[in-house]
Every structure is written in C-alpha cells, then in structure tokens.
Homo-oligomer: A and B are copies of this chain.
C-alpha cells in the first residue's frame, strides 16, 4: 500500500470492478480472487491487483478479496460514499431516457432534480422527478447537489455549464458534442455518443479484405 496518485486509467476501471463485485455478491459469494473477478469483468488479473494496490491492501494471500470490504473500499476511493445526488439539465429524448435509467443506482447515484427551458415540460413529473425551470438551477447549492448531467442541445451547452458552475456544481457529465470551458477545479467529462460510433468503422475490416481472419 503506497498511496501513490491513482492513474486515470485505474479510476476508469474501478467502476467495472464494482459492477463485477455486485454480481458476485448477489450470487452469495463472500470472497473472490483477482483471477475470478478478472474472468467476470474481462480485465486481466494482474491489472486488477495492480489497480487495487494503488489505494489499499484489500486482499488476503491464499484467499482473495472480501467482496463486501473491497466494494466499500472502491466506493470510498471513488467518493461514491459522499456524493450521491445528481441533477439533470435538458429533458429531451436523451434526458428522459437518463431519468428512466435504473443503472445509476448500482453506484449509489440518484438523479434528484431535472431542469428544462420548455414551458410545456416544466411542472411535469417524469419518473417521480418534477421538471423545473432552468432558471432555478441556482438553487442547487442550497440543495447540496454538486453533480450534474448536461443533455441539452449543443447551442445551449456552454451557458448551461456556466450556470451550473455558478450554482456550485463540481462535476459535470456532458452529452453535448462540443468543447466546454469551465474553471480547472470543475471536472467535466464529455461523452459524445456519435463520436464513439464514428470511430467504430476504423476497426472494421473492409469488405475487400475478407481473406484476413
């Protein structure tokens, strides 16, 4: 256990491990070896051990990892024990899908507020959340919501981010396909779905090159 800075790539993989641990826990297991976890999540065993070594000794040689304890350790490292409430801005097609998506629960995350500019939508209740006017984003600070999801059109993304930052939001998951400027202390992760699809063809063999396999 050395408490080095945790590599970004390790941080990216930690949620995968957490997911795998949940599955094993559901099956009633109490302990799991790095090899078994590796098989279930599709990462190499040494990679898992190396990743975990950056922030604590969780395993017992000859036995493996206590699932419950390791899951708690990863959650604490990812700060998922402290931050659990998120706001959504932009209740269009994608935003609605995110509101309905049950997958955030796995990580203890909850969308507890939703905003839109459309007067038609404001006041409506979607999945138990009342849609509020975007102008009310400034109430996030007193509601202690520091995590936000941006699912607005590209043109509205920057101004949305500005108001979120002003409201004390510290982390933003952005679905708008554009560059966003924010103070360095604010972490912005942009997830551009079309871009992911666009890089797929590069890895696909051309029809002419069938002989390859």
A residues adjacent to B (C-beta < 8 A)? 6, 11-12, 14-16, 18-19, 40-42, 77-80, 82-83, 86, 92-94, 96-98, 100-101, 103-104, 106-107, 109, 146-147, 149, 170-173, 177-179, 185, 187, 189, 191-207, 212-213
Contacts and interface: CB of A to CB of B under 8 A. Distances in A.
B40 A198 contact: no
Contacts of A100: 93
Contact of A203 (B14, B18, B107, B171): B171
A193 B202 CA distance: 23
| Count of identical protomers in the assembly | 2
Given A42-B179, A173-B196, A201 B15 contact: no
A33 to B, nearest CB: 17
B15 A198 contact: yes
Contacts of A200: 147, 171-173, 187, 189
20 contacts: A12-B199, A14-B199, A15-B195, A19-B178, A80-B198, A80-B201, A82-B207, A86-B197, A94-B94, A96-B97, A103-B193, A109-B197, A147-B204, A149-B197, A170-B205, A171-B203, A172-B200, A173-B197, A187-B203, A189-B196
Contacts of A107: 194-195, 197-198
A170 B201 CA distance: 8
A104 B146 CA distance: 31
Given A6-B202, A11-B199, 4 more contacts: A83-B201, A104-B194, A109-B194, A109-B198
Nearest to A151: B97
A191 B196 contact: yes
Contacts of A206: 79, 82
A5 to B, nearest CB: 12
A101 B94 contact: yes
Closest 7 CB pairs of A and B: A187-B203, A93-B97, A103-B194, A42-B179, A107-B198, A79-B201, A170-B204
Given A103-B177, A194-B106, A198-B15, A187 B171 contact: no
